[in-house]
């Protein structure tokens, strides 16, 4: 087992760069999520690790072994496909055994391994069933057992939970995470669901238009996004347009001066803060507040969302714990939107 | 999938070889139709169009060609006249036994051509014995047989066209007061026109290239081009026949190209 | 299904009547003739009266018992069987290629290229093979020209030639049938096989082949039926010594005026074709997924 290193990976389809100069170090034993909207290149990147796609440029390494041009069947990867891709003409046991047939093991050893894998995913009783008789969650576990039976160097999962309903999704992702941790295998999974990524991945690589925008833990991405895209893609975010005029100093479109934390070179930018870091008050301190008018109030149970608009025209969102306080702002009220400097950051 | 490897190259070479096997004889005969030498020599000493002229001079080919065209045209018209209403009935007016009727009308495709040809021939003779009305070795008889050949093609293509046509426009027309006939002419017909043209082309092709069904029904002076080709081949093998075969290939290819303009060919199969 | 009206709509007999002319045509000129010759197959031939008007199984017995007819049946079965086997071997890789090719445009062209020879008709295709295989044909001209042989080799008028020509005629049917079946096998299954360590070739054998078996059976049935019913190819390429059922039916009915025997052979072809067609339809509608 070893980590995976992608160095300056590129995949061109004609004039289109599906994956544009991506470099990534996946640590041994970690579960990394590749996250992004459709078309961002995450699946292509995964398929380059698997070997179904050959990079136009760059290298792929499993530990010290370079595998960039090694054909799929020689790479020793385990892959769980989006539709699970269980062989319909084989039983569950024969599916799990499939990869072991080419290893030259004797029958007893193969049978033992199959039983071991099925026990690991708790599907021993279904060994002789046909795939079509299984539920979605069960099929996924068989797919995982099959992929892992082979002692792969890397485990790859392509949108593994997208075919499941919401409740099952939450359950399965925790299960798969547990199994992956037990096995300690380096794993990469692709998803467009940021909640899923944040819930189970050790680190997340956010991709957009073929580029890797940011790589980090969920907290890194949420608290210190490096780009507007990442800020907006992970959770909700408020953007106030303007420009950076000095260290920690930001000037809005209507010449209001605000303060932020973190570093940024001067020039056009957006000041950002998360909805839950903002509060609405009758008045606020200069540098960390803005006068706004409330345009709508949405009660969501534990949280109430307020849509507001600033004097410069920025549409912003505030999320506050719902209170029974009669003094809560109402639509049409003019209030002051405030936040703490530590919670304000700037992106391009 | 994967990159270039020896295995992949070998595989593609195999595929190309098999395609060549199927296509090469046809290309060869087209090419050979222009060879100057009467006895096939390779490479040819020169090229000429004289075999085409000779083919036209030979009565059986000239007649066969015109006959095939005429029969093809008539069979196509008949096939459309009978097949389009049938397709309409099947796709727009569901009735009990609809699927059985559909299979029944497509059955000429599944009956071996030689069997159907023999059966129709015997039938025509018996009809003649009974009614004094001759059908074997007549133009009418051939047209009837060819209409049978063409009908399944018309049915398939027009049904497919009706199936994919949005019935909503027709319902809208009805709700605006159009009766069935008006709806058909002003709404349905334009929508299925491409399918009908494809049906016409394939009906023509099926008729023009037919062999076994016509075999029993031809007579002196009334023969089709494919049969003229076969008869000639039983005794001769010279470039004349290559010229005639090429003509048939060109006609059918033309019909196919016309059809492709209107209906993506993948749909017909 | 788009285009069909569901219940609640008053039955429109006028519309249903549109199908009547077609029904009449097929019933009168296909069904009735077939029934007629079925009847005649149980009749007995007479040189003077043509048919005696009796009912007997004699013709069917003769078809299997009489050495001449038995040989015809066997020759037909052998040639059809051999051609079918070869066709399936060749069609599989081509069908796989067309099914998996990535460019939709290329795929469209390949399908047209595959179907085109079919539409040209058996006369032209047989003529083409004669031009290639004749003793003065293209193949021999090339062999003599490059010094491979000293005299023209006899290709035409041999069973081998008939098989070669039949294979060429049958390939398009098999390719299209198989390709349609393979389209329904997701490529992710092959990718899964490869990710588990099987080479691409081995994956095809372990995954694609078993899953396309219904298609293979159906295509084989179709090809066998077509080969068995062939006329132009055995006559032109096989010559007068090649007695397959198609040419014999023609001979008996059109030349010898022996309608009973001809009808018997025709109905044997019909019955076998019917069974094979039903078989292939059953197999093609099987769904694995």
> B8: which chain A residues are within 8 Å (Cβ-Cβ)?
none
Q: How many domains does chain C have?
A: 1
Whether residue C77 lies inside any domain: the answer is: yes
Q: Which one of A78, A87, A101 has the shortest CB-CB distance to C195?
A: A78
Q: Please give the share of chain B, as a percent, with pLDDT higher than 90.
A: 35
> A48: which chain B residues are within 8 Å (Cβ-Cβ)?
none
Q: Which residues of chain A have a Cβ shorter than 8 Å from any chain C Cβ?
A: 50, 52, 71-74, 76-79, 81-83, 85-89, 98-99, 101-103, 132, 146-147, 150
Q: What is the pLDDT of residues B142-193, one digit of tens each?
A: 999 999 999 999 999 899 888 877 778 888 888 888 887 888 888 888 888 8
The verdict on A70 touching B (C-beta cutoff 8 Å) is no
**Residue-range definition of the domain harbouring residue C154:** 30-43+56-284
Q: What is the pLDDT of residues C6-37, one digit of tens each?
A: 443 455 667 778 899 999 999 999 999 999 99
Rg for chain B, CA atoms, rounded: 23
Q: Which one of B95, B119, B229 has the shortest CB-CB distance to C16?
A: B95
> A44: which chain C residues are within 8 Å (Cβ-Cβ)?
none
By the 8 A CB rule, do C20 and B105 touch? no
Q: Which one of C25, C29, C270 has the shortest CB-CB distance to B112?
A: C270
CA distance C288 to chain B (A): 22
Count of alpha carbons within 13 angstroms of residue A335, beta-carbon side: 22
Return the residue in A52, A71, A72, A77 with the most chain B beta carbons within 10 A, the one to mutate for interface testing. A71
With a cut of 90, say whether residue B253 has pLDDT above it. Answer: no
pLDDT-based confidence at B95, cuts 50/70/90?
confident
Whether residue C9 lies inside any domain: the answer is: no
Smallest CA-to-CA distance from A258 within A339, A347, A348 is with: A339
Query: What does the DSSP assignment read for C28-95?
Result: IIIIHHHHHHHHHHTS-EETTTEE-----SHHHHHHHHSHHHHHHHHHHHHHHHHHHHHHHHHHHHHH
Domains of chain B: 58-268 (1.10.3720.10)
Q: For residue A273, list its beta bridge partners.
A: A238
Encode chain A in three state secondary structure.
CCCEEEEEEEEEECCEEEEEEEEEEECCCCEEEEECCCCCCHHHHHHHHHCCCCCCEEEEEECCEECCCCCHHHCCEEEECCCCCCCCCCCHHHHHHHHHHHHCCCHHHHHHHHHHHHHHCCCHHHCCCCHHHCCHHHHHHHHHHHHHHCCCCEEEEECCCCCCCHHHHHHHHHHHHHHHHHHCCEEEEEECCHHHHHHHCCEEEEEECCEEEEEECHHHHHHCCCCHHHHHHCCCCEEEEEEEEECCEEEECCCCEEECCCCCCCEEEEEEECHHHCEEECCCCCECEEEEEEEEEEECCCEEEEEEEECCCCEEEEEEECCCCCCCCCCCCEEEEECCHHHCEEEC
CA distance C142 to chain B (A): 6
Interface of B with C in 175-234 (CB under 8 A): 180, 205, 208-212, 215-216, 225-227, 229-230, 233-234
The verdict on A334 touching B (C-beta cutoff 8 Å) is no
pLDDT averaged per 10 residues in sequence order, chain A, 348 residues: 88 91 94 94 95 94 92 93 93 94 90 94 92 91 93 93 86 90 93 92 95 94 91 91 88 86 85 90 78 90 90 88 77 87 88
Whether residue C2 lies inside any domain: the answer is: no
> Are C22 and B85 inside 8 Å of each other by CB?
yes
Q: Distance of CA A131 to CAs A140, A240, B37, B226, Å? A: 10, 53, 66, 53
The ipTM is 0.84
Query: Count of CB atoms within 10 A of residue B36's CB?
Result: 13
> A102: which chain C residues are within 8 Å (Cβ-Cβ)?
196-198, 202
What is the per-residue pLDDT for C4? 44
Closest A-chain CA to C194: A73
Whether residue C117 lies inside any domain: the answer is: yes
Whether residue C169 lies inside any domain: the answer is: yes
Q: Which one of C4, C40, C127 has the shortest CB-CB distance to B122?
A: C40
The verdict on B127 touching C (C-beta cutoff 8 Å) is no
Whole-model pTM: value is: 0.86
With a cut of 70, say whether residue B268 has pLDDT above it. Answer: no
> Are C189 and A85 inside 8 Å of each other by CB?
yes
Pairing of strands A289-299, A186-191: unpaired
What is the per-residue pLDDT for C11? 52
Smallest CA-to-CA distance from A176 within A141, A152, A149, A151 is with: A141
Domains of chain A: 4-223 (3.40.50.300), 236-347 (2.40.50.140)
Q: What is the CATH number of the domain that holds C219?
A: 1.10.3720.10
With a cut of 80, say whether residue B99 has pLDDT above it. Answer: yes
Most confident listed range (B211-225, C77-91, C232-246): C77-91
What is the per-residue pLDDT for A246? 86
pLDDT-based confidence at C140, cuts 50/70/90?
confident
Whether residue C4 lies inside any domain: the answer is: no
Query: Count of CB atoms within 10 A of residue C80's CB?
Result: 24
Residues 6+ apart with CB under 8 A from C36: B119, B122, B123, B126
> Are A81 and C193 inside 8 Å of each other by CB?
no
Distance CA B158, CA B100 (A): 18
CA distance C240 to chain B (A): 10
Whether residue C85 lies inside any domain: the answer is: yes
What is the per-residue pLDDT for A60? 95
Q: What mean pLDDT do residues C112-130 have?
A: 87
Q: Which chains touch B (3 or more CB pairs under 8 A)?
A: A, C
CA distance C2 to chain B (A): 6
> B3: which chain A residues are within 8 Å (Cβ-Cβ)?
54, 69, 71
Q: Could you say which DSSP state residue C10 is in?
A: P
Q: Which residues of chain B have a Cβ shorter than 8 Å from any chain A Cβ?
A: 1-3, 5
Q: What is the pLDDT of residues B17-70, one digit of tens each?
A: 999 999 988 888 888 888 887 776 667 788 888 888 888 888 888 889 999 999
């Amino acid at each position: 087992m070893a980590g995976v290193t992608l160095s300056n990976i590129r995949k061109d389809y004609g004039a289109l760069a599906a994956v544009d100069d991506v470099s990534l170090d996946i640590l041994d034993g970690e579960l990394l999520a590749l996250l992004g909207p459709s078309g961002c290149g995450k699946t292509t990147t995964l398929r380059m690790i698997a070997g179904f796609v050959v990079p136009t440029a760059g290298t792929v390494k499993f530990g010290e072994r370079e595998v960039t041009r090694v054909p799929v069947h020689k790479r020793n990867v385990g892959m769980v496909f989006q539709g699970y891709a269980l062989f319909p003409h084989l039983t569950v046991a024969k599916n799990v055994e499939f990869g072991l047939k080419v290893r030259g093991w004797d029958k007893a050893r193969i049978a033992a391994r199959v039983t071991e894998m099925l026990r690991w995913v708790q599907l021993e009783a279904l060994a002789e069933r046909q795939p079509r008789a299984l539920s979605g969650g069960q099929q996924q576990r068989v797919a995982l057992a099959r992929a892992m039976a082979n002692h792969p160097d890397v485990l790859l999962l392509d949108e593994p939970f997208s075919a499941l309903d919401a409740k099952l999704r939450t359950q399965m992702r925790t299960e798969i995470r547990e199994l992956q941790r037990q096995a300690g295998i380096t794993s990469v999974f692709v998803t467009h669901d940021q909640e899923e990524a944040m819930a189970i991945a050790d680190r997340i690589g956010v991709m957009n238009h073929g580029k890797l925008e940011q790589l980090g833990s969920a907290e890194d991405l949420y608290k210190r996004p490096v780009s507007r895209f990442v800020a907006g893609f992970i959770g909700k975010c408020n953007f106030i347009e303007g420009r950076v005029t000095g260290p920690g100093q930001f000037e809005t479109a209507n010449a209001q001066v605000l303060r932020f934390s973190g570093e940024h070179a001067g020039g056009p930018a957006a000041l950002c803060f998360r909805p839950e870091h903002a509060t609405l008050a009758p008045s606020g301190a200069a540098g960390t507040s803005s006068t706004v008018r409330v345009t709508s109030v949405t009660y969501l149970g534990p949280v109430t969302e307020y849509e507001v608009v600033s004097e410069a025209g920025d549409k912003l969102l505030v999320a506050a714990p719902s209170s029974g306080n009669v003094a809560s702002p109402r639509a049409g009220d003019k209030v002051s939107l405030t936040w703490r400097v530590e919670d304000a950051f700037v992106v391009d | 999938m994967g990159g270039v490897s020896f295995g992949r190259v070998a595989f593609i070479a195999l595929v190309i070889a098999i395609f060549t096997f199927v296509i090469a004889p046809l290309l060869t005969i087209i090419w050979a139709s222009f060879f100057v030498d009467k006895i096939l020599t390779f490479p040819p000493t020169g090229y000429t169009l004289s075999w085409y002229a000779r083919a036209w001079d030979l009565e059986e080919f000239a007649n066969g060609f015109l006959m095939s065209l005429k029969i093809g045209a008539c069979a196509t018209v008949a096939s459309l006249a009978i097949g389009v209403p049938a397709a309409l009935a099947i796709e727009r007016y569901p009735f009990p036994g609809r699927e059985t009727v559909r299979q029944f009308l497509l059955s000429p495709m599944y009956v071996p051509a030689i069997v159907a040809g023999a059966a129709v021939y015997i039938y025509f003779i018996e009809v003649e014995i009974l009614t004094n009305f001759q059908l074997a070795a007549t133009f009418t008889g051939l047209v009837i047989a060819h209409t049978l050949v063409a009908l399944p093609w018309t049915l398939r293509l027009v049904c497919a066209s009706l199936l994919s046509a949005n019935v909503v426009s027709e319902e809208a027309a009805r709700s605006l007061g159009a009766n069935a006939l008006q709806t058909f002419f002003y709404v349905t017909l334009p929508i299925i026109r491409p399918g009908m043209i494809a049906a016409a082309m394939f009906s023509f092709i099926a008729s023009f290239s037919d062999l076994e069904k016509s075999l029993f029904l031809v007579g002196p002076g009334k023969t089709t081009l494919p049969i003229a080709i076969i008869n000639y081949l039983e005794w001769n093998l010279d470039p004349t026949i290559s010229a005639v075969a090429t003509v048939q290939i060109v006609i059918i290819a033309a019909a196919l190209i016309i059809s492709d303009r209107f209906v993506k060919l993948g749909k017909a199969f | 299904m788009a285009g069909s009206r569901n219940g609640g709509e008053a039955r429109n007999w006028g519309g249903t009547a549109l199908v009547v002319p077609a029904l009449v045509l097929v019933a009168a000129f296909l069904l009735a003739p077939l029934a007629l010759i079925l009847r005649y197959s149980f009749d007995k031939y007479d040189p003077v009266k043509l048919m005696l008007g009796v009912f007997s199984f004699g013709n069917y017995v003769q078809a299997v018992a009489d050495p001449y007819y038995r040989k015809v049946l066997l020759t037909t079965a052998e040639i059809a069987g051999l051609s079918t086997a070869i066709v399936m071997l060749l069609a599989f890789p081509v069908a796989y290629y067309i099914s998996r090719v990535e460019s939709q445009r290329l795929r469209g062209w390949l399908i047209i290229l595959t179907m085109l020879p079919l539409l040209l008709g058996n006369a032209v295709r047989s003529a083409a093979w004669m031009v290639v295989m004749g003793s003065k044909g293209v193949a021999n001209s090339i062999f003599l020209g490059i010094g491979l042989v000293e005299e023209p080799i006899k290709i035409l008028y041999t069973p081998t030639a008939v098989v070669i020509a039949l294979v060429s005629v049958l390939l398009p049917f098999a390719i299209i049938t198989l390709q349609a079946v393979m389209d329904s096998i997701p490529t992710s299954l092959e990718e899964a096989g490869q990710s588990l360590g099987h080479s691409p070739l081995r994956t095809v054998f372990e995954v694609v082949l078993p899953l396309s078996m219904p298609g293979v059976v159906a295509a084989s049935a179709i090809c066998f039926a077509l080969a068995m019913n062939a006329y132009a190819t055995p006559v032109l390429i096989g010559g007068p010594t090649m007695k397959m059922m198609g040419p014999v039916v023609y001979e008996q009915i059109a030349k010898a005026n022996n309608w009973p025997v001809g009808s018997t052979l025709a109905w044997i072809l019909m019955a076998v074709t019917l069974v094979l067609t039903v078989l292939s339809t059953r197999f093609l509608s099987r769904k694995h997924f």
